[in-house]
Amino acid sequence: MTSSLQTTARLALMSAAVATFGATVAAADPIRRIDLITRPQAAQPAEFQFVQLIAQEWRRLGLDVNVRVMPWEQMSDIVWFNRDTWDTTAWQMVGRPERSDPDEIVYNLFHSTTAERGFNFIGYNNPDYDAIVEEQRVTLDPDERRELVRRAQAILAADQPNMMLAHPQSTFAFNQSVWNPESVVEQGGIGIRNTWTFMSLEPAGDQRSIILNSSDNVQAINPLYISGGVDSWITELVWDRLMRIGPDGLPTPWAATGYEWIDDTTITVTLRDGMSWHDGEPVTPEDVKFSFEAAGSGESPMYGPFVTNIESIEIDGMDITFNLIQPSAPFLTASLAKINLIPKHIWEPIIERLADSDENAESIQEDTPIGSGPFRFHSWTANEEIVLNAFADHFNAPKADRWILRIVPNVEAALGMLRSGEINFLADFPGDPSVLQSAAEQDPNLVAVSTVDIGFRYVAFNHRRAPFDDPAFRQALSSTVDRRMIVGAAFRGFAVPSNSVVSPALEFWHNEETGNMEAGLDRARAILEEAGYRLIDGRLHYPEGVSETLQ
């Protein structure tokens, strides 16, 4: 597209967007105050610091930037459920195991169909991008699919729907006087804080409870909704899936004993015999079928995209056959290892009731969540702790007796609790990793392990609100700060600078060419000037003829 065509398209989009908010078209007006949301410094020091650095540079462009600090619960509610009310926010995508296949990131995070209620909470819409990520889903040849995923990353690098920052080098620690180090499992792109570790930890002494921490609160314990990374730790322990992602990053049979591709659009899995729900009822093939149907019922916006390609499900004894609409390269990882198995006898009445309600399954919180996973729910004390007990009847029963999550918003307090023995597994440390490593060097009982994460940290732009609907404006804001400076200053070097949502930990899929991003205020100012923005009396103004008035 030529520069003039880009400008015409951009102005048309901007005019339509600002009209949504009661805008009028007049002479060039100053850009309104921009709100940039972050969590508190005590809870997320790296995030708080990179937000301050970014806000400082945006102000030097002539923007009025207001940094809004709020706890995770409030931040999550505003960004996820009130999608047209915020401007820009610090955010993160955590390294869940099923994200070892890039489909969940490149499709669900940015495809236009997931914008209203799904993962695409920023409202990104690019038909060319949609076509690419749809094609990679049905391309079975790994090398051909790899090129499509790389092209998708290149489009995102050009559009800058978000300001990508870094893939953290996640650092966790445990007490080896409590847990046998040989029983700790490191999962590629995830680190040692993972479901395999929690199932495998062997007591080194009399202590048999895994006691860990989180700086963020838990929002929900719900098999059809995850509001954040900490929620997913619990979900993976309480509910089983047909497949799980192994420590090597590959899907492996779990609640299924095996699978067979009949053809490109037909796969049969065999359910493991003898499984039971935590309330004692047997897990049946009908439960499995219902689980996938519930995810696609429209009552679970978060999980719906992972089952839309399923045309029908058939049962024959313990065999469950999935008939797909079209071939699906990531089906094992993105669907069979993603969808939580839920008991039909509990959830069917809930789904039926929601069909006649304005609510959906994301609002449901069971008093006692029932799954079939290796740990079962015991108690939840709001803002304090969650306790899970080992499920002795599970086919891969944990070696520990309990899993106790304590909410510790302060980073220094969490490290102090590890040193004192109040916790024995540091599962969340958003502070300076070198401090944690030093603590481990000084205490022979502590072991610290660092891993480059599949997940990533970024600043999200709300495309529903001008001026963030303008690619040129997003590109300018995104190019204000060198990512290497962010990594050094905010992450103390324990991260990998990034301009791609696909982590370099996923070497096969990562497009290393996206990293060649020119950054700096001069570059940002040049982009804005070319797009028609003007600096008047120290304040950045819209291009001529564009005005925005939020009512």
In a domain, 12, yes or no: yes
Q: Is the pLDDT of residue 114 over 50?
A: yes
pLDDT tier, 549 (very low <50, low <70, confident <90, very high otherwise)? low
Mark whether 321 and 341 lie in a shared domain: yes
d(CA 107, CA 89): 21
Residue 432, domain extent: 170-240+369-451
pLDDT tier, 548 (very low <50, low <70, confident <90, very high otherwise)? confident
Portion of the chain with pLDDT greater than 70, in percent: 95
Which of these, 244, 216, 203, 234, lies nearest to 378 by C-alpha position?
Answer: 234
Instruction: Please measure the distance between the N-terminal and C-terminal CA atoms of the chain and give it in whole angstroms.
Output: 34
Mark whether 9 and 90 lie in a shared domain: yes
Q: Which residues of 242-273 are buried (b: 16+ CB within 10 A; e: fewer)?
A: bbbbbbebebebbbbeebeeeeebebbbbbbe
In 129-222, the DSSP E strands lie at 162-175, 209-214
In a domain, 357, yes or no: no
The mean pLDDT value of the chain amounts to 92
Question: Per-residue pLDDT averaged across 368-391, rounded?
Answer: 97
Mark whether 292 and 424 lie in a shared domain: no
In a domain, 361, yes or no: no
CATH of the domain at 290: 3.90.76.10
Counted domains in the chain? 3
In a domain, 546, yes or no: no
Q: Is the pLDDT of residue 19 over 50?
A: no
Among 406, 433, 451, give the residue marking a domain's end: 451
Residue bearing the bigger pLDDT, 210 or 23: 210
Mark whether 10 and 29 lie in a shared domain: yes
CATH of the domain at 211: 3.40.190.10
All residues at 6 or more sequence positions from 438 whose CB lies less than 8 Å from its CB, including other chains = none
In a domain, 296, yes or no: yes
Which of these, 467, 458, 324, 434, lies nearest to 11 by C-alpha position?
Answer: 467
Give the tens place of pLDDT for each residue, 433-480: 999 999 999 999 999 999 989 999 999 999 999 999 999 999 999 999
Mark whether 486 and 442 lie in a shared domain: no
Mark whether 416 and 521 lie in a shared domain: no
Mark whether 177 and 139 lie in a shared domain: no
- Cα distances (Å, whole numbers) of residue 405 to 31, 385, 402, 412, 414: 44, 5, 10, 17, 12
All residues at 6 or more sequence positions from 88 whose CB lies less than 8 Å from its CB, including other chains = 34, 35, 36, 37, 459, 460, 461, 462, 468
Among 451, 470, 491, give the residue marking a domain's end: 451
In the numeric block, the tokens 């390269």 are attached to: 329
d(CA 342, CA 345): 9
Q: Is the pLDDT of residue 13 over 50?
A: no
Mapped onto helix, strand or coil, the DSSP state of residue 167 is strand
d(CA 181, CA 190): 17
* 99 neighbors 187 (Cβ within 8 angstroms): no
Give the tens place of pLDDT for each residue, 56-95: 999 999 999 999 999 999 999 999 999 999 999 999 998 8
In a domain, 550, yes or no: no
d(CA 87, CA 459): 10
Q: In this predicted structure, what is the pLDDT of residue 82?
A: 94
Among 427, 451, 475, give the residue marking a domain's end: 451
Mark whether 56 and 148 lie in a shared domain: yes
In a domain, 510, yes or no: yes
CATH of the domain at 480: 3.10.105
Mark whether 50 and 91 lie in a shared domain: yes
Mark whether 279 and 409 lie in a shared domain: no
Mark whether 190 and 315 lie in a shared domain: no
Q: In this predicted structure, what is the pLDDT of residue 218?
A: 92
In a domain, 356, yes or no: no
